[in-house]
Structure 1
Amino acid sequence: MSKEFLPFQAADISALAKSLRTQLAGHDGQPGHVEMLNMLARSAGYRNFQHFRAQLEARQRLEAAPEPPPAVDFVKLAKLARFFAADGRMIRWPSKFSHQEPCLWVLWSRLPPRRTFTEPEMNVLLAEQHMFGDHVLLRREMVNYRMIGRTTDGRSYWRIEREPPAEAVALIRQVTGRKRQPG
């Protein structure tokens, strides 16, 4: 059985000693192991030993190195970019399921955030972003992928704020960058 070491520190050793002395004076007899751990933790400003341990574990999790971002498949990114014209509009609906969601993220990124739209307004916004004439398909798929929300009667629509996957972010940058380059 290996022992787990928990670093213990106090901002003011004098205050720690005074608190520990007060707690020991109020205790009948010699404190047990757990009682002593709780006294030490309270002397350092925690409610008890479990609070001390939870704070330490939370701090270690927050200070841990973040996971590296997922790698982007640039071959797939080049294939996905072909679904968009030079002006940034979608040319055709992808037949592959794995290509549909990243393409929808590009359209999602162009919807104004924190606004509610009527169905006709949403239709106009989506119609401006593609060339194949099926804004209803786009609207339905964006609802299915939870990129936009709507009321049960379909009168109001809004963009759902969330973080796009790394592949979608790369595609958004690719298509948007191409759109801004002079002709």
Structure 2
Amino acid sequence: MPESHPSFPETAERGRRLQPLHCEDLSTFAKSLRRELSDHLSAQGAPSDTAPSHLQLLNMLARAAGHRNLQALQAAPVTAVAEVDPWAATALPEPAANEDAAAPRESLSPNAAKALTQFDAWGRLARWPHKFSVQRLAMWALWTRFEPNRRYTEREVNELLKAWTTWGDHVTPRRELVEMKLISRLPDCSAYWKNPQRPSDEVQGLLRALRGQQKRPQRAG
């Protein structure tokens, strides 16, 4: 059976809960969904055989997940949900054993300290900063959410940015990430990818502080 994992809390800005869905077996999930659809149609007085076929449902689910079809989904690399760590994409120096936990925040530059306040407790960018220099620092945090050595469709980029921002505008940060060359894309926007970069000391301080204040989603079980 499909297994869901609680993610981020309800937000007033978006009015809905971000709820990732982990499915152990897509075929079993599609069969169960088809039975539910057939029962629903019968209850409404419609012929139950008007429900999509098993293969049609598989392709629908693949498209809903951002893939062209079932074959494209099957060809995509598999990432275990329980192992995903959004901070793993950027290796940052570990603090010394005797370093005060509050030191990263205290040593932030004024712009980095301001950028830190733009994020909520779950690491999402809650507003578009007014100051240009703060905007650019905030983009580095979004850059860490992309996986290295992976091609994204524009839809996948949009969904990722929607998940890590809360004010309803994913286009602005996407454009800024490209302009900063933190991510690149093909001319027809059919593919995006993360560019390897070396964050400055100022950026690394911000990322460490943001990581330190971020709450981790609770997993079921």
Shorter-chain TM-score above 0.5 = yes
Per residue, is there more helix in 1 or in 2? 1
Is 1:145 the counterpart of 2:183 in the alignment?
Answer: no
Contact 2:112–2:134 at 8 Å: present in 1 too? no
Distance across 2 between alignment mates of 1:81 and 1:115 = 27
Q: Quickly say closer, same or farther: Cα 1:136–1:168, change in 2 above 3 A.
A: same
**Residues 154, 189 of structure 2: 8 Å contact kept:** yes
In the superposition, the TM-score normalised over structure 2's length comes to 0.48
- Equivalent residue number for residue 95 of structure 1: 130
How far apart are the structure 2 equivalents of 1:181 and 1:139? 24
Report the Cα offset of residue 73 of structure 1: 4.2
Change (3 A) 1:156 1:181: closer
Q: Secondary structure at the match of 1:149?
A: strand
Alignment coverage as a number of residue pairs: 112
Which moves more between the two structures, 93-102 or 72-81? 72-81
The alpha-carbon distance between structure 1 residues 154 and 84, as it changes in their structure 2 partners (threshold 3 A), is: same
Aligned partners of 2:161 and 2:217: how far apart in 1? 24
Identify the residue that residue 114 of structure 1 maps to in structure 2.
Answer: 149
SS at match of 1:99: helix
Amino acid at match of 2:142: L
CA distance in 1 between partners of 2:194 and 2:134 (Å): 21
Deviation, 1:182, is 9.5
SS at match of 1:155: coil
CA contact (8 A) 2:178 2:184 kept: yes
Residue 77 of structure 1: how far off its partner (Å): 2.7
Q: Aligned partners of 2:185 and 2:217: how far apart in 1?
A: 37
Partner of 1:83: 118
**Higher mean C-alpha displacement, 109-118 vs 173-182:** 173-182
The 1:182/1:132 distance shift into structure 2, 3 A limit, reads: closer
In the TM superposition, what whole-angstrom CA distance separates every residue of 1:95-142 from its partner, at most 9, and x where no partner exists? Answer: 111101110000101111110000000101111111111111111000
| 1:116 alignment partner, SS class | coil
Task: Indicate the percent of aligned positions where both proteins have the same amino acid.
Answer: 39
| Structure 1 residues not aligned, in runs of 5+ | 1-71
Q: Distance in 2 between matches of 1:93 and 1:180?
A: 21
Structure 2 gap ranges (5+): 1-106
Match of 1:167 among 202, 214, 217: 202
Determine helix, strand or coil for the equivalent of 1:158.
Answer: strand
Q: CA separation in 2, counterparts of 1:77 and 1:93?
A: 14
Amino acid of the structure 2 residue aligned with 1:101: R
TM-score calculated relative to the size of structure 1: 0.57
| Amino acid of the structure 1 residue aligned with 2:160 | L
